[in-house]
Amino acid sequence: MRKLERKDLWSLEEYAEKRTAFRGQVMAHKKNRNLQIGPHMRLLFEDRLSMQYQVQEMLRAERIFEAESIQDELNTYNALIPGGRNWKATMLIEFEDIAERQQALKKLMGIEDKTWVQVAGHDPVYAIADEDMARENADKTSAVHFLRFELTLVMVRALQAGADLNAGVSHANYNYSVAPVAGALRASLLADLD
């Protein structure tokens, strides 16, 4: 998937005019890239469109217009665009109650490394997590992690030929799976693959 370049972005003024319509387009797109695993974890699979939205929103919020600063944002968010044989996802651990969330994050240390996808007939592919920086300390994990699932060419071809896709988490304190991943989400994920 092609990375974002400066020419792909709107100026702050242009974005102000297009923001409402673009936001609606992106939110509709994201609905097909959202996987709930159990009651408290969600994977938001990122792609070029979702990252364009993130960059545009960061430029708007921070009022960034200098070329070097724009390139810094592109470099940061381009890292979350899939590369043709992988998926990249933002993992969210969600608890409405703050005290409950704080307790859960203590019990869920290492959960990012226990999150997987599996192509039928193949071993699970565990996430490579938080390549940019550590998101857990000695006491608790973070509620947000960035994951990469690296597939083999054989797995990609199997998916393209119709093999089932499953996903899940195999953590001692959180063990859920989705089998199979189907419908619009599956179609959207397959579109990320070469």
DSSP H helical ranges for 46-90? 48-62, 67-78
Taking all residues of the chain, what is their mean pLDDT, rounded to a whole number? 96
Query: What's the confidence (pLDDT) of residue 132?
Result: 77
pLDDT at 136: 79
Task: Look at residue 178 and tell me whether its pLDDT is greater than 90.
Answer: yes
Radius of gyration (C-alpha) of the chain in whole angstroms:
18
User: Could you tell me the two tokens for 2?
Assistant: 């092609």
User: Tens digit of pLDDT for each residue in 103-135?
Assistant: 999 999 999 999 999 999 999 999 999 887 778
Length of the chain equals 194
The mean per-residue pLDDT over the stretch 169-183 comes to: 97
pLDDT in tens, 53-94: 999 999 999 999 999 999 999 999 999 999 999 999 999 999
Query: b/e string for 83-102 if b means 16 or more Cβ within 10 A?
Result: eeebbbbbbebeeeeeeebe
Query: What local confidence, expressed as pLDDT, does residue 133 receive?
Result: 72
Contacts of 34 (CB under 8 A, 6+ apart): 42, 43, 44, 45, 185
The sheet carrying 144-150 orders its strands as: 34-37, 41-45, 86-93, 144-150, 128-129
pLDDT at 131: 82
Query: In 3D, which of 113, 106, 117, 153 has the Cα closest to residue 129?
Result: 113
CA–CA distance, 191 with 69 (Å, rounded to integer): 31
